[in-house]
Structure 1
Amino acid sequence: MKFKQALNTKISFFIIIGLMIGCGQTQNYVHVKNNLYVLPAVKDNSKESALESLLIGNKKGKPLIVFLTGSGNYPLVVHASDSNYYYLFDPGIVADTLKYNYLFVSKPHIPAVLEMNNIDPNSKYFNFNNDNELYAKFSRKNTIEYYKENLPQLIKNAKSQLSPDQVILMGHSQGARIVAEMAGSKVIDKFVYMSASPIGRLFYADVDSTTYKYILEDKLQKSELEQNFDQGDSYKTWKSFSYSPIVSISQTKKPFLIIYGEEDKSCIQCDLFYSLSWKNPKIFVKKYQGLNHIFYDSNKKSYWYKVSSDLDSWIKNN
């Protein structure tokens, strides 16, 4: 599930300048305001520029939090008709910019910052304007496999520029599934997995276990699946995020934190994660009482500042 809470504090973009910072590829950082930057995409494994990023903070030597948001083809920031810019994730996620630099990774071929008229006013999704070729590129790359192949280079570029003393990869919902499959990465020091089921997307699918098995084993015709199988994503994306993350997480040799809300309807099986922590001392699990999928309570009050404070303590102690 994606974050739709707009940033309460308006961000006005006064100056936009290009900064050339040395890395494996010379990359233009577009300075937005104060400590906010847009990082244009670099070439991916298909030789296309696909993954833009939003950098909050650029002071060298601080820990770097790389954040992967949930499902949906939406940007990270929108430029509204009132001339202000708003985050499409909860501002509580970036509660500690004095201690950390934050790097938010956009979806493949979805700009990190968009004009309001380029997104759907209700869903906040990017409007492809019937550009079938662009939508096909997004759908083809919106998979765990794509991120697993291309995130390491993006992170290496950031490390060469910011010289962080450690890199923490965090992911929420769909983003958490990517975190699980990155658990063996050498370029990341710690991992945080938020609000994602231990059994993949099987829980959401209206299919029996035999059909699900056939899907994962490629025993059904793709044409049949595309016609009859509607889960809100392309079949390729749905399948990629449908495998259970348990095996990948259980094998981690680095600190790995799993957090979720007690009232999260998509995480009713998440208590199963405690069994991993009993076997692997690198795995930590924390459940938030009374909070939902995006760490809000029943009165729609955000607890992201509390979550961020807990994450800071965990990072310092592990």
Structure 2
Amino acid sequence: MHRLLGLLLLLAPLLVHGQNAANELFQHYTLHRPQLKSFDIHVTKSDSKAKRPLLVYLDGSGNFPLYYKTKSGRYNSSVPLNISKYAKDYYIVVISKPGIPFKDSLRYDNSGRRYYPENNTFKQLYSLDWRAEAASATIDYLVKKLPIDTRKVIVMGYSEGSQVAPRVAVLNKKVTHVICMAGNALNQLYDFLLAARLQAEQQQLSRIESQRIVDSLYTEYAKIYRSPKAVDHTWYGATYLKWSSFSRTTPLENMLRLSIPILYIAGGRDDNQTIMSMDYAKLEFLRQGKSNLTYRVYPDCNHYFQEEKTVDGVIKKSDRIDEVHQFAIEWVTTVGK
């Protein structure tokens, strides 16, 4: 089963963008909500009093700080968006996960693997519901606090954040645009089953080995669904609460509840999850006669939108994440025209 373990999706898609964790870029606020406890939000500063759109950026999974210092002494970020590029035109907000600071240094174990220590707040609260409700509360707060152009309140989610984004729009009717990038459309637990079947088709496993994995996965899934709120039981490094919350409803089900424009972006070589799950979203929108989904695929890109092509026998690699974000921003300005 070790090969399947290598396909772990959405647990730690930590992206290095090389941005400085400059406090002068952000204004920091702490919000308090009974169910969510206290949580920190970080909004780009502006000297202008003019109204501008709000962009809520939801990063991927894991418990790393939004900005984290590595052994080299350099700060990297779990947010792949070039925030400073768009801060002059948008209020951009990022949200710290429960109990996790805005920035801090990573730790390293004896093998050199990087990690960040778990804490009880994160363990007790981290779920799709917490992330979606925190984002919704953030929107409500900032619309009152700042001169927001409410014609454009955008929720953009990457990886696990992509699963959260449509749920935020279901909760909060102020959201006008949803952008989902590199996140599954169906139950994320299904991706593990599909991966096991595909490995058999690709002759990486025998069909008997594949079936053993599938059977073992169903055994684990039964445990999760029997104890959906458990935080003292974990699977693949995450609590049953986390897994059950992200698979109680699917991202596609939340997308289908929306009538606002949705942009769904996929990488054709995404190894964190299969694009076949993502393809189904477009099919379902067509089946139901809904026209508010734009589906964009970068065929040769992986989960991080790094592209690898073979041209005249030579492998050429390029990073297209900035291009992908620019496409998304341009889509917001043109959709509906």
TM-score (norm 1): 0.77
How far the C-alpha of 1:167 sits from its partner, in A, is 1.1
Tell me the residue number matched to 1:188: 175
Q: Is the 8 A contact 1:67 1:169 kept in 2?
A: yes
| Structure 1 position 267 matched with structure 2 position 281 | no
1:95/1:253 Cα in 2 relative to 1: closer, same or farther (>3 Å)? same
Alignment of 1:200-239 (within 5 A): 200-202=187-189, 203-204=191-192, 206-208=213-215, 211=219, 214-215=222-223, 217-218=225-226, 226=233, 230-239=235-244
Partners of 1:68 and 1:148 in 2: CA distance: 9
How far the C-alpha of 1:74 sits from its partner, in A, is 0.6
Partners of 1:274 and 1:40 in 2: CA distance: 38
CA RMSD of aligned residues (A): 3.1
Partners of 1:146 and 1:198 in 2: CA distance: 19
Please list the CA deviations of residues 81-131 of structure 1 after superposition, one character each: whole Å capped at 9, or x if unmatched.
Answer: 8876443333546643332221111211101122x2x54486654324xxx
Please list the CA deviations of residues 126-170 of structure 1 after superposition, one character each: whole Å capped at 9, or x if unmatched.
Answer: 324xxxxxx232122111122233322211112222222121001
Partners of 1:152 and 1:170 in 2: CA distance: 13
The count of aligned residue pairs is 285
Tell me the residue number matched to 2:99: 109
Tell me the residue number matched to 2:37: 48
How far the C-alpha of 1:177 sits from its partner, in A, is 1.3
Partners of 2:237 and 2:29 in 1: CA distance: 28
Q: Is the 8 A contact 2:164 2:251 kept in 1?
A: no
Partners of 2:36 and 2:236 in 1: CA distance: 30
1:99/1:210 Cα in 2 relative to 1: closer, same or farther (>3 Å)? same
| Structure 1 position 152 matched with structure 2 position 136 | yes
Which runs of no fewer than 5 residues in structure 1 stay unpaired?
A: 14-31, 129-134
Please list the CA deviations of residues 283-314 of structure 1 after superposition, one character each: whole Å capped at 9, or x if unmatched.
Answer: 21111121111111136632122112211221
Q: Is the 8 A contact 2:15 2:80 kept in 1?
A: yes
2:154 alignment partner AA: I
1:281/1:212 Cα in 2 relative to 1: closer, same or farther (>3 Å)? farther
Partners of 1:46 and 1:219 in 2: CA distance: 20
Tell me the residue number matched to 2:245: 240
Larger helix proportion of the pair: 2
Q: Is the 8 A contact 1:61 1:164 kept in 2?
A: yes
Partners of 1:221 and 1:80 in 2: CA distance: 34
| Structure 1 position 281 matched with structure 2 position 287 | no
How far the C-alpha of 1:80 sits from its partner, in A, is 6.4
Tell me the residue number matched to 2:208: none
Partners of 2:166 and 2:157 in 1: CA distance: 9
Tell me the residue number matched to 1:311: 328
Tell me the residue number matched to 1:197: 184
2:318 alignment partner AA: K
Stretch deviating more after TM superposition (151-160 or 166-175): 151-160
